[in-house]
Amino acid sequence: MILEVKSVHVELNGVRILRGVSLSVGRGEIVMLIGRNGAGKTTTIKSIMGLVPVKSGRIVFDGRDITGMKTHKIARMGIGYAPEDRRVFADLTVEENIEIAIGNPSERDEILREVYTIFPDLKRLASRRSGYLSGGEQKMLAIARALALKPKLLLLDEPFEGLAPLVVRRLYESIWKIREKGISILIAESNITHVPKLADRVYVIERGEIVFEGSPEETLKSERVLKILRGY
Ligand SMILES: Nc1ncnc2c1ncn2[C@@H]1O[C@H](COP(=O)(O)OP(=O)(O)OP(=O)(O)O)[C@@H](O)[C@H]1O
Ligand SMILES: [Mg+2]
């Protein structure tokens, strides 16, 4: 396993948000964490990145305990993170946005080449100011930036939110290419429709607890999962 989240509890402002979340991501695997609004997806991802304090439980990445580690250190160890709110620098060009995320300047050309292979649209837009990009292009740029540190594991928080069907399909292709490079991926999603295209394995989260784990087929035919996602 590249990532193991073991019985993680998170409390924010006195409210119990995660109640013993356990999940794992295997090497080269795409795992989807599915849950409704407010279920705890973003908090789970933030706990892995060291962006919220873990009250109890353990997070093990690539054989090392990263619980309580600083976010920049976790990123440098090899976890890339594309947050829900695509954070790009509007005044910088696409290429500049990727460049400033690169850790080792001597790897600049190699990383740009790799990122443009994964996202051909970004190559075409390389000199465009990021503020002028469409929502979908900004999502792609946010993921490209997360790839700039050559991660072993990529965390994507709702990458498909608000994207047109055609853009969704292009993003599928990019995610498949990322997996082909041997990078493991954890995707948080509220929409189950992406499961058959992407997931090797699925977890469902509800009120801060993992309530289901299974294959894509098992997930899609589970009456319990469909009920949870419908909200009754
Ligand atoms: N700083 C905070 N203090 C108190 N409660 C919080 C805080 N941050 C998040 N929460 C609550 O924790 C719960 C889980 O939030 P989280 O953002 O992890 O859900 P999510 O599954 O990502 O939802 P969404 O689909 O809306 O992105 C929600 O009920 C939210 O209101
Ligand atoms: Mg969220």
Q: What CATH number did the domain enclosing 142 receive?
A: 3.40.50.300
* CA atoms of 95 and 228, how far apart (whole Å): 42
Supply the range of the domain harboring residue 176.
3-230
CB 175 within 8 A of CB 199: no
| Mean pLDDT score, 193-205 | 97
What is the bridge-based pairing of β-strands 201-206 and 79-82? unpaired
Q: How far is the CA of 74 from the centre of ligand 2 (A)?
A: 20
- Give the phi and the psi of residue 91 in degrees, each rounded to 5: -80, -15
Q: Rounded to whole angstroms, what are the CA distances from 133 to 117, 118, 141, 144, 172?
A: 19, 18, 9, 14, 19
pLDDT for res 89: 92
Q: How far is the CA of 94 from the centre of ligand 1 (A)?
A: 30
pLDDT for res 127: 97
* CA atoms of 229 and 191, how far apart (whole Å): 9
pLDDT for residue 16 is more than 90: yes
* CA atoms of 80 and 37, how far apart (whole Å): 23
pLDDT > 70 in the chain, percent: 100
Task: Tell me which ligand sits closest to the C-alpha of residue 13.
Answer: 1
State the pTM of this model: 0.96
**Residue 29's closest CA among 152, 144, 111, 160?**
152
Ligand 1 atom with the smallest distance to the CA of 205 is 21
pLDDT for residue 145 is more than 90: yes
Q: For residue 131, what pLDDT band results from cuts at 50, 70 and 90?
A: very high
Q: How far is the CA of 192 from the centre of ligand 1 (A)?
A: 19
Nearest CA to ligand 1 atom 27: 37
Ligand 1 atom with the smallest distance to the CA of 84 is 27
Q: Write out the DSSP string of 20-57.
A: EEEEEE-TT-EEEEE--TTSSHHHHHHHHTTSS--SEE
Binding-site residues, ligand 1, Cβ < 6 A: 12-13, 15, 17, 35, 37-43, 84, 190
Domain count along the chain: 1
Mean pLDDT of the chain: 96
pLDDT for residue 86 is more than 80: no
Nearest CA to ligand 1 atom 31: 38
Nearest CA to ligand 1 atom 8: 12
Q: How far is the CA of 43 from the centre of ligand 1 (A)?
A: 6
Strands of 201-206's sheet in order across: 79-82, 153-157, 184-189, 30-34, 201-206, 209-214
Q: How far is the CA of 39 from the centre of ligand 1 (A)?
A: 7
* CA atoms of 198 and 27, how far apart (whole Å): 15
